Structure 1
Amino acid sequence: MTPGREQEEQDAAEARVVARVLEVRTGRTGTVEHRGRSVPTAFRKSPRTGPVAVATLGLEGDEQADPRVHGGPDKAVYAYPVEHYAWWQGRLGVALAPGFFGENLLLEGLTEERVHLGDRYAVGELVLEVSMPRRPCFKLAAVHDRPELPELLQESGRTGFYLRVLAPGSVAAGERLVPVGDPVTTVTVHELNRVMNLDRSDLAAAAELSAVPQVPERWRQSLARRLDGHQEPDGPRLRGT
């Protein structure tokens, strides 16, 4: 390859970089008090230095307290946009430290309106795919002693998003996420959260999303049940009732 060609390819790659990893965080399972009882959670995560290995089920050293609803291939890595932190500080009236939302990756440059289901990003050999928005649960409220947080996070649309691991590798703070291929859907993370969690009367959109293969199977089943007139309650998830 000629030096000129190498420079062209390098310039093209640089132009496609749309995000940067500011922090990588992992956590072990502990407990938090909720409604007079101790519940397990790995929500509290600490920053890691140097490359962290990432496999199909997530980052090395990261745990999920309840595998029925957390973790798994569709929720291997949780990313949160740093751009939202200023809004939350104004909304909550307190200074927020990174890791407030239990994220594995604190990102700069990707927000819910910009990323689509199925979008792929590479960090070296690691290839990640956007899978779904976060559906917050009561443990967010318990960790921060703010009962309103889960519902507010969901309603704000500032949910962050999960990533599948298509090819294992490693990730470190300061690295860049490079998009791989073209978008395979027009469904943004923001739109899926709107239809799935907020505008539940929008049955036309629910029907469309229930047929999109990139929407996780469990969510497509939920949308199909909605079309049959069955709505799932939010109370157990958001309030732990």
Structure 2
Amino acid sequence: MNQYQIVSINVGKPSTLYTDGQEIQTGIVKRPVHAPVHLKTLNFEGDGQADLVHHGGADKAVCVYPHDHYVYWENDLKLTLSPGAFGENLTVKGLTEDKVHIGDIFQLGEAVVQVSQPRQPCFKLAKRYGIKELPLKFQTTGFTGYYFRVLQEGIVRERDALSLLEEHPMKRSVQYANTIMHHDKKNREGIEMLLNVDALSANWRATFEKRLQGIEPDASKRLEG
């Protein structure tokens, strides 16, 4: 069984971020928790989102980010980063975007979760670090992280491993989904392959279906979280 280390479990309620003379309500500020925490259908207990239109929901219950990318970002941003730095709920080791597939199912403590889509970092990540182009850098590198939906609720502990229970038979990686979404937008075959993955989130499915119809979302629309 493939097992991956949980570096930290991170939660946080919406708070006010002061930047560029503005007040922004955001749930991007997460802190590690060391006590057992209940993972529910929509989120970890103690966690929350300020913008429920672009964040949260069953398909985006748990935001996951590979700790493997932290060294890259520390060098690029000239910052020292702590787990949860990018607003993720789970900071993990070894489970990078090229190794995990849409629809893969994992045991997470007592809970069972499934990969639903890559993450698309929003403008609030840029605001947090004062780097306007940061969300675009995430897309360009492919170091986006991804989301879990919760198939079974349960208690999760920091010492628990993330264990692969079932690899999706289509084996379309998060990296591949990112490529089709952001870099190879006119690849109809690739879009159709992803639409055939039953576990793909409703949000990404709708975007790909519109592309097949020749409808491209407004480029001025902010990136989702």
User: TM-score normalised by the shorter chain: which range applies?
Assistant: over 0.9
Bigger CA drift: 44-53 or 212-221?
212-221
Residue 138 in structure 1 maps to residue 138 in structure 2? no
For 2:81, which of 93, 96, 99 is the aligned residue? Answer: 96
What is the CA-CA distance between 1:125 and the residue it aligns to? 2.2
Identity %: 38
Is the 2:39–2:155 Cα contact (8 Å) retained in structure 1? yes
Bigger CA drift: 136-145 or 85-94?
85-94
- 1:77-92 equivalent positions in 2, closer than 5 A: 77-92=62-77
Using a 3 Å threshold, how does the CA distance of structure 1 residues 182 and 145 change in structure 2: closer, same or farther? closer
TM-score when scaled to structure 1?
A: 0.87
Name the structure with the higher helix share. Answer: 1
Residue 44 in structure 1 maps to residue 40 in structure 2? no
TM-score when scaled to structure 2?
A: 0.93
Is the 2:103–2:167 Cα contact (8 Å) retained in structure 1? no
CA distance in 2, matches of 1:45, 1:182: 29
Match of 1:179, as an amino acid?
L
Paired residues, number? 224
Gap runs ≥5 in structure 1: 1-15
What is the CA-CA distance between 1:218 and the residue it aligns to? 2.4
Structure (1 or 2) with the larger CA radius of gyration: 1
For 2:153, which of 162, 165, 168 is the aligned residue? Answer: 168
Aligned match of 1:11 = none
Is the 1:75–1:164 Cα contact (8 Å) retained in structure 2? yes
Aligned match of 1:221 = 206
- 1:43-122 equivalent positions in 2, closer than 5 A: 43-122=28-107
Using a 3 Å threshold, how does the CA distance of structure 1 residues 181 and 212 change in structure 2: closer, same or farther? closer
What is the CA-CA distance between 1:228 and the residue it aligns to? 1.7
Using a 3 Å threshold, how does the CA distance of structure 1 residues 175 and 98 change in structure 2: closer, same or farther? same
Aligned match of 1:152 = 137
Q: Runs (4+) of structure 1 moved beyond 6 Å? A: none
